[in-house]
Amino acid sequence: MNAPDSPFAAARFGSGHAVRRIEDPALVQGQGRFTDDVQPAGQLFIRFVRSPHAHGRITAIDTATARAMPGVVAVYTGADLVAAGVKPLAPAGGFKRPDGQPMSPPPKHALAVDVVRFVGEAVAAVVAESREAARAAADAVGVDIEPLPAVADAVAALAEGAPQVWEGAPGNVLAEMQHGDAAATAAAFAGAAHRISLPIGNQRLAPSPLEPRSVLAQMEDGRLNVRLSSQMPTGVRGGLVHCLGALADAPASRTNENVRVLVGDVGGGFGMKTALYPEDVATAYAALALGRPVKWQAERVEEFLTAVHGRDLLSRAEMALDADGKVLALRIRSWANVGALPTGAGVAIQLLVGPWVTTSIYDIRTIHLQLSAVLTHTAATGAYRGAGRPEAIYTLERLFDAAARELQLDPAEIRRRNMIRPAQLPYSNPMGQTYDSGHFEQLLDQGLALADWAGFEARRAESAARGRLRGRGIATFLEWTGGNALEENAQVRITGDGFIEITSATMPMGQGIATSYAQLAVDVFGVPIERIRILQGDTDRANGFGSAGSRSLFTGGAAAFVAAQQAVEAGKPLAAEALEAGVGDIEYAAGRYTVAGTDLGIGLFELAQRQPGAVLRAEGGAKASAPSWPNGCHICEVEVDPATGHTAVVAYASVNDIGRIVSPVIVRGQIEGGAVQGIGQALCEQVVYDAQGQLLSASFMDYALPKVDGFLGFKTAFDERMPCLTNRLGAKGVGELGTIGATPAVVNAVVDALARAGHGRGAEALQMPLTAETVWRGLQGRSVPLALPAG
């Protein structure tokens, strides 16, 4: 038996080894510390009164009855907050309208002022001694809203004479971008042997993390402290200072130093928790104004109504090919429904981020993309796992499968003919993005072998014998990761009582990032993983971009690794002094400094004990030179019941290149968990509004998440032979890769099943989600055509 601190025990927990997540013991024992678990003395509760109309003019708000109710401490309206000096949230910017003028989004107030623009927008807030009192008083607030005409989808919003969401977006087009060469693309199409055209919809989705949003604001030592469930605490702090910094009677909100943001455990984010929300601002204002702790815990219906949604993109996609199946050009016209009060991310995701991967792993040189961000009377869209890349990859992979059927080529073969070759790397795509490493054809070959591509016909015959239609789908693809925030710092604190603390501004949200950081620390320090503590979620200790865009290990992990190395180096002169030796003679290994060639040494923690405060400190940072480009080959097989249209995922195989792997168990969970979310988009998930902007899918009774009986186990493999060349670790992002690959693989499999059964026309017309009814209609040749805007 090895001692707990022996080198052998430590080596078992370094990078590349499968270890149990260090986050899990507290969580599974009910000892996690989420925002709603914190209950300060004197805590008040805030409840929001929300608009029942998608569009309307606020004519009166009667708060007198609510103010007089038992337990009520305060009632606020949008006018109250404006009078107090609360500014609207920082507006989205950076893009232009079709007329070339800078885009001008509607102001997003903490509480609506004068006009409401979507169902659920907060128009008043009640603060009371208990949740029950706040709820009762909110029901007593009288709100008169004069209904105005509304539009709930991009097609309606762009129709002639449509109601205008905001005067700063004529014709409801907030912003527009074009990429590529329109003339060269048109010439390629004119001379092409084959032209493929598909209407393609990426439906609106609700991110649905396990933990809804939660905020607790209070004054402590003259400062505003805000504890909330967030992926980006530094950004939240900056947003709060922007909104509240002008309050004349609340100096504690004026600067970053006067505001502290804390994040404990986070029950999932998926991009939904990256931004500041109006409810965060109102809750913080109430704490400032009242001088008491104020908490808001969202109910699930509020998340459906007001948290950012994902996707919602309509496209007319076209591909030109020569007689041999080589793609000559790609042309895509897209319209993104960004909601009524758009987020900056929601616009950038569709107009810029998605287009970066439009040509994926394929050598396609000629493109023309025209993309519009459209305002509607719905909740805003924003980041959701994959953020633009799923939409772009889905569109391209649907085109490749359609082209394969047109040219009567194997779907794998047409992809192979168009792949970027290793000799072409580094490769600059038509969007100016440079891929540094990868071997895409090699991953295709591994994926085909893992999925037993050649044995499909036998499995199809076996399914047919049971009265089922079997289809297979493939997606070979890459994605962009790093969020273009390529630099992070980390701090190390080694304590005399035997622990190493590493502090980072990246955030845990269930993805297990603390375990990966701890394993990297074990690599450097050579101590057991139990000696490592990872601290995150406190703007008084660390600030940075946060966690989004699969960047945490790519940047934050590299910073933690460098900081750990700096700590070891910082200890060498101290060890030399303690051991009366020259610094150049000091060596470090397995938690101990020694004098080279002797058995004279001192332990790391003993050395820390000798320092002032019994602590040895260091810090370090890392900067990637460019984003990373993880890629994969995902292959799915489905069975369709022709009598009902019900679809089951019966096999799913993937080979993934994510560069160097630090935590094998975690990356497998990320790939497979992400794939489940991609399967959800393909088969069942959809946010639905009616024509008047009323949300019809405001609960899990109406919004279907994927269930475990909808798919069988995964075959998941990794190839580490192509490390990322742009960061210290050689790691590529992993958190969103499975989501991006699964959706096209599953949809292509269903389309394939119907096409093989002689339902080609109904198959090509299929649009997500592929519910039983949708697939059944496809089998009957009665698919509902996707409506696209004119132009």
For residue 5, what pLDDT band results from cuts at 50, 70 and 90? low
Q: What is the pLDDT of residues 500-519, one digit of tens each?
A: 999 999 999 999 999 999 99
- Give, for 642, the enclosing helix (H) or strand (E): none
The residue type at 205: L
Sign for the CA dihedral angle at 206, 210, 215, 221 comes to: negative
Is-contact 136 123, C-beta < 8 A? no
| pLDDT of residue 3 exceeding 90 | no
Same domain, 618 and 674: no
Same domain, 690 and 647: yes
Same domain, 763 and 678: yes
What pairing do the DSSP bridges indicate for beta strands 499-504 and 173-180? unpaired
587 in a structural domain: yes
Q: What pLDDT was estimated at residue 7? A: 54
Q: What is the pLDDT of residues 205-248, one digit of tens each?
A: 999 999 999 999 999 999 999 999 999 999 999 999 999 998 86
Q: Which residues pair with 331 in a beta bridge?
A: 318, 368
- Give, for 683, the enclosing helix (H) or strand (E): helix 664-683
Q: What is the pLDDT of residues 57-98, one digit of tens each?
A: 999 999 999 999 999 999 999 999 999 999 999 999 999 999
**What span, in angstroms and rounded, lies between the C-alpha atoms of 367 and 188?**
10
Angle of helix 558-579 relative to helix 513-525, nearest 10 degrees, comes to 30
Task: Specify the CATH number for the domain of residue 732.
Answer: 3.30.365.10
Name, in order, each residue with C-beta under 8 angstroms of 40's C-beta and a sequence gap of 6 or more: 216, 218, 293
- Give, for 477, the enclosing helix (H) or strand (E): strand 469-478
Residue 604's Cβ-count burial label (10 Å; 0-12, 13-18, 19+) is buried
Q: Which residues pair with 175 in a beta bridge?
A: 373
Name the CA radius of gyration of the chain, rounded: 28
What pairing do the DSSP bridges indicate for beta strands 122-128 and 44-50? antiparallel
Same domain, 422 and 508: no
Q: What is the pLDDT of residues 629-675, one digit of tens each?
A: 999 999 999 999 999 999 999 999 999 999 999 999 999 999 999 99
Residue 43's Cβ-count burial label (10 Å; 0-12, 13-18, 19+) is middle
Q: What pLDDT was estimated at residue 707? A: 87
| pLDDT of residue 390 exceeding 80 | yes
Q: What is the pLDDT of residues 181-204, one digit of tens each?
A: 999 999 999 999 999 999 999 999
Same domain, 439 and 568: no
Cα separations in angstroms, 214 against 34, 211, 236, 381, 718: 9, 8, 13, 20, 37
Q: What pLDDT was estimated at residue 11? A: 63
Per-residue three-class SS string for 649-671: EEEEEEEEECECCCCHHHHHHHH
296 in a structural domain: no
Name, in order, each residue with C-beta under 8 angstroms of 392's C-beta and a sequence gap of 6 or more: 354, 355, 356, 357, 358, 360
Q: What pLDDT was estimated at residue 708? A: 79
Residue 609 corresponds to which tokens in the numbers above?
A: 């004990």
**What span, in angstroms and rounded, lies between the C-alpha atoms of 197 and 319?**
7
Q: How far apart are the first and last CA of the chain?
A: 73
How many domains are there within the chain? 2
Same domain, 587 and 636: no
Name, in order, each residue with C-beta under 8 angstroms of 380's C-beta and a sequence gap of 6 or more: 308, 309, 338, 339, 340, 341, 342, 343, 346
Same domain, 702 and 565: no
Residue 146 corresponds to which tokens in the numbers above?
A: 């004069």
Same domain, 513 and 455: no
Q: Which residues pair with 647 in a beta bridge?
A: 640
Same domain, 613 and 678: no
Backbone angles phi, psi at 20, to 5 degrees: -70, 140
Q: What is the pLDDT of residues 253-271, one digit of tens each?
A: 788 999 999 999 999 999 9
Is-contact 658 670, C-beta < 8 A? no
DSSP per-residue codes, 390-450: HHHHHHHHHHHHHHHHHHT--HHHHHHHHBPPGGG-SEE-TTS-EE----HHHHHHHHHHH
Same domain, 408 and 528: no
Cα dihedral 9, 10, 11, 13 in deg (nearest 10): 100
- Give the mean model confidence (pLDDT) for residues 426-449: 98
Q: What pLDDT was estimated at residue 9? A: 54
Q: What pLDDT was estimated at residue 2? A: 36
Spell out a b/e string for 484-493, using b for 16 or more CB atoms within 10 Å of the CB, else e: ebbebbbbbb
Domain closes at, from 623, 652, 683 = 623
Q: What is the pTM of this model?
A: 0.96
Domain closes at, from 623, 645, 672 = 623
Q: Which of 459, 391, 417, 318 is nearest to 753 (CA)?
A: 459
Same domain, 549 and 581: yes
Is-contact 293 217, C-beta < 8 A? yes
Per-residue three-class SS string for 249-280: CCHHHCCHHHEEEECCCCCCCCCCCCCCCHHH
| pLDDT of residue 347 exceeding 50 | yes
Q: What is the pLDDT of residues 134-193, one digit of tens each?
A: 999 999 999 999 999 999 999 999 999 999 999 999 999 999 999 999 999 999 999 999
37 in a structural domain: no
Q: Residue 434, Cβ neighbours under 10 Å: how many?
A: 13
DSSP state at residue 626: S
Please tell me the number of Cα atoms within 13 Å of 657 on its side-chain side.
29
Q: What pLDDT was estimated at residue 551? A: 93
Q: Give the 3-state secondary structure of residue 199.
A: strand
| pLDDT of residue 6 exceeding 90 | no
Q: What is the pLDDT of residues 754-777, one digit of tens each?
A: 999 998 888 999 999 999 999 999
769 in a structural domain: yes
| pLDDT of residue 543 exceeding 80 | yes
Q: What is the mean pLDDT of the chain?
A: 96
439 in a structural domain: yes
For residue 10, what pLDDT band results from cuts at 50, 70 and 90? low
394 in a structural domain: yes
Q: Residue 323, Cβ neighbours under 10 Å: how many?
A: 9
Q: What pLDDT was estimated at residue 315? A: 98
14 in a structural domain: yes
- Give, for 138, the enclosing helix (H) or strand (E): helix 131-140
Same domain, 616 and 510: yes
Is-contact 385 671, C-beta < 8 A? no
166 in a structural domain: no
- Give the mean model confidence (pLDDT) for residues 112-137: 98
**What span, in angstroms and rounded, lies between the C-alpha atoms of 30 and 524?**
32
Domain closes at, from 601, 623, 645 = 623
Sheet holding 223-228, edge to edge: 72-77, 122-128, 44-50, 294-297, 214-220, 223-228, 259-262
Owning domain of residue 15: 7-32+486-623
Q: Which of 498, 492, 493 is nearest to 606 (CA)?
A: 498
Cα separations in angstroms, 454 against 234, 411, 667: 51, 13, 28
Is-contact 470 751, C-beta < 8 A? no
**What span, in angstroms and rounded, lies between the C-alpha atoms of 95 and 174?**
9
Is-contact 356 364, C-beta < 8 A? no
Q: What percent of the chain has pLDDT over 70?
A: 98
